[in-house]
Homo-oligomer: A and B are copies of this chain.
Amino acid sequence: MFSKFGKLLQGETVRLSQCRRFYGQPVLPYDCVQDMTPSSLVIEAEARRFIHDCLRRLNVPFEKLRCVSDIMLAADYRGIHGMGIGRLETYLNDLQYGGVDITAEPEIISQTSVTAQVDGHGAMGVFVGNFCMDLAVEKAIKSGIGFVVAKRSYDIGMASWYAFRAMASGCVGLVLSNSPAMMVAPGCREASIGANCLAFGADGNHSHFMLDMATSVKGMGAVEWANINDERIPVSWAMDESGVPTTFPGVALRANRLNPAGGQNGYCLATMIDLLCGVMSGANYATRLAAMSAEEKKVASSNLGVAMLALDPYVFVPDFGERLDDFKKRIDNSTPVDKSRPVRMAGERERLYMRHVDEMGALSFPNTLLAKFKHIADSLSVQPMQLAFINAKPKYLRF
């Protein structure tokens, strides 16, 4: 699926020796990392091995391992770290203490030739998401459009993953998902709705469009990532527990109160997504997803909703690919005020990040996160993640 974006996520892994040659450095064991300097590089195969080992300890069946690691590594590969391997701990917690049923399989409750309602049965979000999008694509290939909603899903991770699945079959994909209430309506202090996400992707002949956005200024994943990196967050992102804007990601994580993007616009968009994913699918929605106690949280977060739409664009225009390429050219040609910061089509920033990862030959993770992985490895008695290059300072692209 990622043929256009490099080799990293195709299973043909860049070998450790390549990376070593690349940096002229020997591979060192994890324990050598003493100080918490910025970040270290990890070969994709090794990151995948670590994820698989951890999941195996929690009895995730062999045939399901790849499905989970794929979406996490794809997120890190695309630079959407908030949805990447940094979420491993959350997923492991869900598996150990949450309501995720690892043996559950999503099931079609009802369907027509172009629509379906799915019951996720509390399976991991990625299984429900893949199932729904594949079903929507199957319908779209036959009839031009397919629309599938699901209830009883968990967090589906990086939404654009499912849009890519649609694109792999020549379709345009729209992915909507709700989340536990963590966004505050304009003029309020309490979270009453999820920072519900939207992803939309389409393939041209030589370009692709991929929008992956939360309806909050930034998603909770970005706040978590800032926390891992020990960075402050902009004042517009989130509030503390008394409803006052905060720049501390740790405070924002505890308070669970994100601001909607564009105020009323972002809030209304989130309610629209909730209506489609939650109200219309049979899942929970709005404050039915606001957790009061840990037990309620367990129940609430296991009934998220998703909605997936697949469309065959060639049903409408035979030259869709060329038209999309021309569209991209027109967006790229916008004249920016600061020439070092050109305007980019949605998904272009991520494509550049992937190229950057390809050049490095490895994924880069902050050492604070790697220390967390070390802790996970110890607690699960799993071999710690082996680093390819310690304390690397990969250039961070400015987009």
Contacts and interface: CB of A to CB of B under 8 A. Distances in A.
A336 B189 CA distance: 7
A34 interface: no
Contacts of A331: 185, 192-193, 271, 286
Contacts of A333: 287
B330 A213 contact: no
Contacts of A281: 316-317
A276 to B, nearest CB: 8
A219 to B, nearest CB: 11
Chain A interface helix/strand/loop/mixed: mixed
Nearest to A187: B336
Given A265-B266, A327-B285, A188 B343 contact: yes
B115 A288 contact: no
B143 A112 contact: yes
A316 B280 contact: yes
A188 to B, nearest CB: 5
A282 interface: yes
Contacts of A276: 172
Contacts of A377: none
A113 interface: yes
Interface string A183-209: 001111110110000001010000001
A211 B282 CA distance: 21
A343 B192 contact: yes
Contact of A192 (B143, B323, B330, B346): B330
B112 A144 contact: yes
Contact of A275 (B193, B209, B287): B209
A293 interface: no
A145 interface: yes
A336 B267 CA distance: 14
Contacts of A266: 261-262, 265
Nearest to A184: B334
B262 A217 contact: yes
Contacts of A274: 327
Size class of A's contact patch?
Answer: 35 or more
A282 B343 contact: no
B327 A243 contact: no
A146 to B, nearest CB: 9
Nearest to A317: B282
Given A272-B200, A323-B279, A115 B316 contact: yes
A338 B188 CA distance: 8
Contacts of A288: 330
Nearest to A346: B268
A271 B336 contact: no
Given A147-B145, A262-B262, A315 B112 contact: yes
A81 B288 CA distance: 36
A345 interface: yes
A217 B217 CA distance: 15
A268 B187 contact: no
Given A188-B335, A286-B330, A149 B115 contact: no
A110 interface: yes
A334 B190 contact: yes
Given A189-B335, A261-B265, A114 B145 contact: yes
26 contacts: A110-B315, A112-B143, A114-B144, A117-B316, A117-B317, A172-B276, A185-B343, A186-B343, A188-B336, A192-B331, A192-B343, A209-B271, A209-B275, A211-B271, A217-B262, A262-B266, A269-B269, A271-B327, A271-B346, A275-B327, A279-B323, A280-B317, A285-B327, A286-B327, A286-B330, A287-B330
- Pick the 10 closest A-B CB pairs, nearest first: A262-B262, A261-B262, A115-B144, A261-B265, A286-B330, A192-B334, A268-B346, A185-B343, A287-B330, A117-B316
